[in-house]
Amino acid sequence: MTNHEFYMDLALQNARAMKGQTDPNPLVGSVIVNDNRVVGIGTHLRAGEPHAEIHALRMAGDKAHGGTIYVTLEPCSHHGRTGPCAEAIVAAGIKKVVIATLDPNPIVAGNGVKILKQAGIDVIVGILEKVAIQMNEVFNKFIVSKKPFITMKAGTTLDGKVATRTFNSKWITSEQSRLDVHQLRSENMGILVGINTVIKDDPALTSRTPNGRNPIRIILDSKLRIPMDAQVVIDKAAETWVFTTENYDREKRKALEDAGISVFVTEGAESVDPNEVVSLLGEKSVSSVLLEGGGNIHASFLENRLVDKAVLYFAPKLIGGKEAPTFLEGTGFELMKDAVELTDTDIEKIGDDFKFVGYPIY
Ligand code: AOF
Ligand code: ZN
């Protein structure tokens, strides 16, 4: 590891630790080094609060003068909720700026580097770039598309089943895997399921981890069949948003709204169009969504090319039975050449379970 990589790694570690609390803003870390000593460390904590570089500059004070600043994302150039960091870096007398990756935000995109270079500062871009890009996969998509980054999650047996033919499903994956899912929930701004999942399982869809943030519970329910005594309606543990069609039951909508549930009516009469849901969520600044089933919801999102990432937990168990549901239903593709392939795959063992991660190529 070079010196640059060492300090950038430190900045990346601090940035990553804030996963789940900065969105829709990016994870950003910064380290200032002067005379071979770390004189300032800063991490972005929350959207609307100072950027990482500002925290680091404040800590360094006069010691920033003549130093090198490491930033995991290009310093900003815009007057947003906080001032342009590139100008603050120039004003502090920093000599060198080491950046992991450029900011994909169209209002910054290279302009931060331009300000720094115009001030005669030495700028290096691309240290641990791949890691930095991956860390902000959610932000990178959202800031250019204004659509949420969607992760499809399922916990299945080795034969892809999410329950037995009698719909018994407690439990398929281990407790340790289920804890990992709670972590995943807290890292997403929204969690989306279909109405059948609510009717069958009555899930709370909350994150049971220490300091776990509960995502907004998003339910696709074309006819407003959601039971008034469902946990997601009565428990007040997090917001619940129900997306329905023009075919909805008027009285039920009023009852739900009186219970504090938000109801969104989408176009069309039959089923809720996932494209419309995704656009609406983007408009409401929901930058990340965890899809938690069931199989028809997964299929409709995948067929519409809306799934950005798949996280699949495989338990070393076999159920069998053609009536036993799988995590991906719908009609399915006709030919192998149409199959959705996943790339950049990774597998991790959690106890005896396997956690598989991959990114669909469309
Ligand atoms: C952050 N934290 O540490 C850095 C960011 O809404 P604002 O004014 O805070 O601006 C957000 C934009 O600033 C964000 O989209 C990104 O392009 C840039 N850099 N943002 O929240 C930070 N360095
Ligand atoms: Zn900034």
pLDDT tens for the chain, 362 residues: list them. Answer: 899 999 999 999 999 999 989 999 999 999 999 999 999 999 999 999 999 999 999 999 999 999 999 999 999 998 877 779 999 999 999 999 999 999 999 998 999 999 999 999 999 999 999 999 999 999 999 999 999 999 999 999 999 999 999 999 999 999 999 999 999 999 999 999 999 999 999 999 999 887 678 999 999 999 999 999 999 999 999 999 999 999 888 999 999 999 999 999 999 778 899 999 999 999 999 999 999 988 999 999 999 999 999 999 999 999 999 999 999 999 999 999 999 999 999 999 999 999 999 999 99
Q: Among 28, 46, 51, 111, which is best to mutate for testing ligand 1, by the most ligand atoms less than 8 A from CB?
A: 51
Predicted local distance difference test score (pLDDT) of residue 210: 75
- Read off the tokens for 362: 């469309």
Length of the chain: 362
Residue 208: DSSP 8-state: -
Predicted local distance difference test score (pLDDT) of residue 80: 78
User: For residue 143, which atom of ligand 1 is closest to its CA?
Assistant: 15
Distance between CA atoms of residues 150 and 333, nearest Å: 21
- 44 pocket-lining for ligand 1 (C-beta < 6 Å): yes
Phi first, then psi, for residue 153 (nearest 5°) are -120, 140
- Read off the tokens for 328: 């991906």
Contact 69, 98 (CB under 8 A): yes
One-letter amino acid at 349 equals: K
Phi first, then psi, for residue 268 (nearest 5°) are 90, 155
Q: What is the pTM of this model?
A: 0.92
Largest CA distance in the chain: 70
Q: List the end-to-end C-alpha distance of the chain, in Å, as a whole number.
A: 36
- 105 pocket-lining for ligand 1 (C-beta < 6 Å): yes
**311: number of Cβ within 10 Å:** 19
- 111 pocket-lining for ligand 1 (C-beta < 6 Å): no
Residue 326: DSSP 8-state: B
User: For residue 139, which atom of ligand 1 is closest to its CA?
Assistant: 15
Distance between CA atoms of residues 357 and 309, nearest Å: 7
Is 292 catalytic? The answer is: no
- 28 pocket-lining for ligand 1 (C-beta < 6 Å): yes
Q: Which run of H or E residues covers position 347?
A: strand 341-350
Going by CA atoms, what residue is nearest to atom 10 of ligand 1? 80
- From 5, 49, 53, 187, active-site residue: 53
Predicted local distance difference test score (pLDDT) of residue 50: 94
- 101 pocket-lining for ligand 1 (C-beta < 6 Å): no
Q: Which run of H or E residues covers position 157?
A: strand 149-157
Predicted local distance difference test score (pLDDT) of residue 208: 86
Long-range residue pairs from 51-55, CB within 8 A, at least 24 positions apart, any chain: 51/75, 51/76, 51/82, 51/85, 52/11, 52/15, 52/28, 53/28, 53/85, 53/88, 53/89, 54/82, 54/83, 54/85, 54/88, 55/30
Contact 95, 58 (CB under 8 A): no
- 69 pocket-lining for ligand 1 (C-beta < 6 Å): no
Q: Among 27, 30, 57, 76, which is best to mutate for testing ligand 1, by the most ligand atoms less than 8 A from CB?
A: 76
Residue 113: DSSP 8-state: H
